[in-house]
Amino acid sequence: MGRDKVILSQSSIAPYISKDIRLYESNTLVQSVWDGLKQTGETEAYVIDTSGEYIGTIKLPYLVSIYENLIESGTALKHAKKEQLIFNVDTTIWEAMESMTNFVGESIPVVMERDTTGSQFVGVVYETDIIKAYLETVQSVRSEEHAAG
């Protein structure tokens, strides 16, 4: 695994960041978040503040659990939960794979650290894309080794 690890430790997750997501400002009514997820069929919505800092994620199963009180439920800020796993734009594929060993979900928020003002939400990476990048890199290295050997 030596050469594989070196290449994976130098390969950023940046090419795999998706911006095709449901993104809401923290003052958005949670009813609007519900409507947006229902309309698109997505299961996660990401919440940012007015400066673009990641606040948290609202997941569809949670919204279903509070559906009876959805109209009176306030804003996205009240319901967004910060994910336990958050990547930085310079996270490597190797670091991502190591971090995902206990991850349960479909996507991971990605942020870019700002000087002294927190972090800017950049997008998400999907678990499947990280696994695919890992497997493709390992396969490519093995193919090169077999061709050379």
Instruction: Say which CATH superfamily domain 2-148 falls into.
Output: CBS-domain (3.10.580.10)
At 2, is the secondary structure helix, strand, or coil? helix
Segment 63-88, tens digit of pLDDT: 999 988 887 889 999 999 999 999 99
Segment 123-143, tens digit of pLDDT: 999 999 999 999 988 888 787
Q: What is the pTM of this model?
A: 0.88
- Mean pLDDT for the stretch of residues 34-52: 95
Q: What is the pLDDT of residue 44?
A: 96
Do residues 75 and 28 touch, judged by C-beta distance below 8 A?
Answer: yes
Backbone Cα Rg of the chain: 18
pLDDT higher than 70, residue 55: yes
Which residues, at least 6 apart from 143, have a Cβ–Cβ distance to it below 8 Å? none
**All structural domains of the chain with their residue ranges:** 2-148
